[in-house]
Amino acid sequence: MDLTDIKYFFDCCMGKWSIERTYHYLTHQEVERSHTDFQVAPITLAMKRQVLADNHYDDSPDLDQLPGFQLAFHTVSDQGEEVSQELRALFVPKQQTAGVIMGDYLRDRAYEEARPIVSTFRYDPSNRELLMTTPYTRVVSVDSIMLINPVMRIRRILNYQRPAADQPLDTLVLVGFGVEQKIT
């Protein structure tokens, strides 16, 4: 499997980012704006092992080749609400078709629920988009990061009401958009 382009994507993501987002809450017709300071750093081999262990995931023989990161962020909404969090994430590629890489996305702490979680990801090198799908208890989050250039990303967050088993995602409860600019 050729991981050259996805490694480039993650290399570009390292550093400090200034993020402006708008969230549209569709269940109660509210719009919220927020500013986030985001710090992304490389993940160590020991941290990778811990993320695997936290998620009861088998150790990978090529652990040093798996992309991932550790991040810390602080968000302030236009309503004055503040949220800070730190987490570690690891991407385990499982297949590659026509250049598109798919696999599991593991975190030691999820955004919506404070627990380790295994999600899926799809990375398309043709537009440098990382698409992550996470099934939480009440919603399914489909999060896209598109790398425009090494210092700018566009973010799209779609949260769907979690459907019954084997039913499609069709009820949006939140839509978010963001412009993310690297500052160092």
Is the Cβ–Cβ distance between 181 and 149 less than 8 Å?
Answer: no
Domains of the chain: 4-182 (2.40.128.20)
In this prediction the pTM is 0.92
The band of 30, judged by pLDDT with boundaries at 50, 70 and 90, is: very high
Model pLDDT for residues 144-154, shown as the tens digit of each residue:
999 999 999 99
Buried b (16+ CB within 10 A) or exposed e, 118-149: bbebebbbeebbbbbbbbbeebbbbbbbbbee
Which residues are bridge partners to 143 per DSSP? 132, 157
Query: Tokens representing 100?
Result: 């598109």
The pLDDT tens digits of the residues spanning 106-138 come to 999 887 778 899 999 999 999 999 999 999 999
**Which among 108, 182, 175 has a CA at the least distance from the CA of 143?**
175
pLDDT at residue number 112: 74
Using the predicted structure, report yes or no on whether residue 60 has a pLDDT greater than 80: no
